[in-house]
Amino acid sequence: MDTRPLFSRYRLYLIGVGAATLVALLLRTLALFLAFDRDIGYFSTATPADGFLVYSLYVIEALALIGSFSLLFFIRKGELPAERAPLSRVGLFGTGLCALAFAAAAVFLLTQVNTLPCPAIFTALAAICSGLGAAYFTLQFLGKQSNAPLLGYGVILAAALLLSVTYFDRYTQMNAPHKVGLHLCLLSIMVFMLYELRPLIGRSLPRALSVTSAICCFFCAAVGVSDIIAFIGGVYTDFLYLIIDLLATGFALYIGSRAVGDLMQAAPDAAAETTSNDTAA
C-alpha cells in the first residue's frame, strides 16, 4: 500500500483521470471531424491517419476505464471522508446545467410523444422522470440536497428511459459512435447516481463513489463535449441527442467539481503542508 499522504495519492489519481479525459475529448473531437463518415454514421479507418485517430481513441478509453479502478489499490477503505464537500461555483454551474438539460428533455419529449420512433409510454415516462431529475438538481442548486434522495432515483429512471428512447431510434445504427457513446454516458450516470445517493441515506461508500465518478466524468466529458462541438460543426443534427449531450456535459462539470471538492476536504494535511511551506519561504 502506498505510504504517501492521502492528498498526494488522491490528487495523482484525479490528475490521471483528468488527463485521460482531455486526451479522449481531443481525439474524439478530431475523429468526428476528420475520420467520420456522415453518410453511414461510423468512424472510418480508410486512411492511416483516420485509423490512428480512431484506434488511439479506443486505446485511451480502455486505459481510462481500467485506470479508474486503480484507486482501490492505493487508497485504503476508510481513508476517504464519508461526507461530501459543498458545491463549488463550477459545481453549481454543472448542477444548473443538469437541471436545465433535464427540463429541456422533459419539454422536448412531451412535445414529441407521438412522433419519436419508440412506444409512446416510454416517451411519456421519460418526460416525467426527466422532470424529477430537473427537480433533484434544482434542489441541489438551492443547497437542499438532503431533501432530494427520492428525486435522485428519478434521475436514474430518467437516464434509463432516455436510453430506451434512443434505443428505438432506427435512423441511428445501434453500434454507431453517437448512440454507443451516449448509451455509455447514460449507463455510467445510472451507476454514479446509485453511489451519489448513498450518503443521503447514511450508507456512504466513498471509494466506490470516487471510482464511479471517474468513469462517469470521463465518458460524459469525452462524449458529451465532443458531440456538442460536432453538432455546432454540422456533423450531427438531432436535437434529442443534443439534449442528452448537454446533460452529459452538465454531469461532467458537476462530477468533476465535486471530486475536486472531495480532494480538498480529504486533505487536512495539505493545508498544513502549504502553511509550513509559506512559513519557510
Closest CA to 12 of 72, 73, 71, 83: 71
Alpha-carbon torsion 220, 195, 18, 45, what sign? negative
Supply the pLDDT for residue 145. 66
- Report CA Rg, the chain: 20
Supply the pLDDT for residue 242. 93
Closest CA to 54 of 39, 77, 68, 34: 34
Q: What is the pLDDT of residues 69-85, one digit of tens each?
A: 999 888 888 888 777 77
Question: Quick one: residue 33, left, alpha or beta (phi over 0 = left, psi -120 to 50 = alpha)?
Answer: alpha
pTM for the predicted model, two decimal places = 0.89
- Of residues 248 and 199, more confidence is placed in 248
Q: What is the pLDDT of residues 93-117, one digit of tens each?
A: 888 889 999 999 999 999 988 888 8
